[in-house]
A = this chain, B = another copy of it.
Amino acid sequence: MSGQSPRGELVPAGVVALLGTRGPTSRTAIARDLGLSPATVTQVTKDLIARGIVEELESVPSSGGRPARLLGLAGRTGVALGAKVTADHVAVVTVELDGSVRSSSSHDFDPGATNALDRLGEILTTEIAVLDGELLGVGVGVPGSVDTQASGIVDAPTLGWRAAQVGPILRQAVAQRVNRSKLTDTVGTPVLVDNDVNTLAAAERLYGIGREHSSYLVVTIGRGIGCGMVVDGTIYRGANGGAGEIGHLPVWDTGAELPRCTCGSTGCLEAYIGADALLRTAHDRGVLTRRGTLADLLHAATTGNEQAQAVYADAGERLGRALAGVIHTVDPEVVVLLGEGVDAWEFWQTGFEPSFRRSLLPARKGVPVAVEPWTEDQWARGAASLVLASPFDSAGNGGEQGRLVRARLGAS
């Protein structure tokens, strides 16, 4: 029913996280954004100021009333570490509170090796060793389903992982090598693990569309097709952590020959418009040679090859149809498109736009679809933002690890 937080760290940590991610903010704005009463914010900030974590900054020019006093973090330089695991490498970044990437690196990685998880732990501890600034936590994004962020047991067919103990093993590895500051000894370093698309949704929550909307979809186009769902400001994961698997929406045509999907079934969306499917289609249609890459396909389309453009347009048409269905099902405010594939969006779009709009109910026709520019480090940055997003998660998602994050944010 209603209930209050089990530990008293949620609100102060929320304030600190908000100030860190949003920058200087007035007390009233904090109360609004966090859904608290102004009275509570006064109390909490008073305490945080007394402990030297938060400081009062300048006033903003008023617009007819008492001018707002901005609050900011006082000299703390916490960072979050983010890692994205793929089939052949691990990308790692360190991210400031405000979402800016301080450093990034890439490491060879074989998820099939017997000691893969140990190797992953090694990569992380190496990065942690050279870190300066307090480490708030580690976020890990994997292309698969994760039971909860807090435990971090992973099923990832593309990596060959079944019930992989990613969270437990990484927590152990990190605990042994972390630089031993006054905090670290006592409370342990939080390690949050989540599906890679959900990490992007978390990043959007903090630094992107989530600042203006509380309910949205993050759809990724790349090797696979994924969907992260944010509802009322928290990531929605479904009953088994399997929500948003739109890459496996059945979109086949009755009677036609069905493409085989990596999931074992046939006729999945991904089997039509995933990266491999695009290459296969392009090859079948004589646009690419057997060794052609996505870069080749994009180059062909950009230089006016109509066959290449049609490959994208056909994919866009199918995506539009499928996405319209998803929107009818979950009714989000906005949709954000991300992923490696959006660099070719101008060609997808010619197929996507008409099929998407005509498939929507009249009441939904206006739903905005924002296509954001993509950079290679975005996956890892998303993973890092799991850490700072956890104070905003409804209790439970972050769980024990979320508590650790909050303890660090609220610590003097």
Contact = CB atoms under 8 A, between A and B. Distances in A.
Interface of A: 1-5, 10-11, 14, 34-36, 145, 155, 215, 227, 231, 236-246, 248-250, 252-256, 263-265, 267, 321-322, 324-326, 328-333, 358-364, 395
A35 B5 CA distance: 13
A58 B71 CA distance: 58
Name which of A1, A237, A324 has the most chain B CB atoms within 10 A of its CB: A1
B239 A215 contact: yes
A215 B236 CA distance: 12
A402 to B, nearest CB: 13
Given A2-B5, A245-B331, A264-B362, 9 more contacts: A1-B10, A240-B364, A241-B331, A244-B329, A246-B328, A253-B253, A254-B256, A263-B361, A265-B359
Name which of A36, A215, A243, A267 has the most chain B CB atoms within 10 A of its CB: A243
Nearest to A255: B253
B362 A263 contact: yes
Contact of A324 (B1, B250, B321, B322): B250
Contacts of A244: 329, 331
A239 B14 CA distance: 24
Contacts of A363: 145, 155, 240, 242
A246 B364 CA distance: 13
A34 B10 CA distance: 22
Nearest to A357: B265
Contact of A239 (B10, B240, B332, B362): B332
A34 B1 contact: yes
A351 to B, nearest CB: 12
A328 B248 contact: yes
A3 B329 contact: no
Contacts of A246: 328-329
Contacts of A3: 2, 4, 35-36
Given A1-B35, A3-B35, A329 B267 contact: no
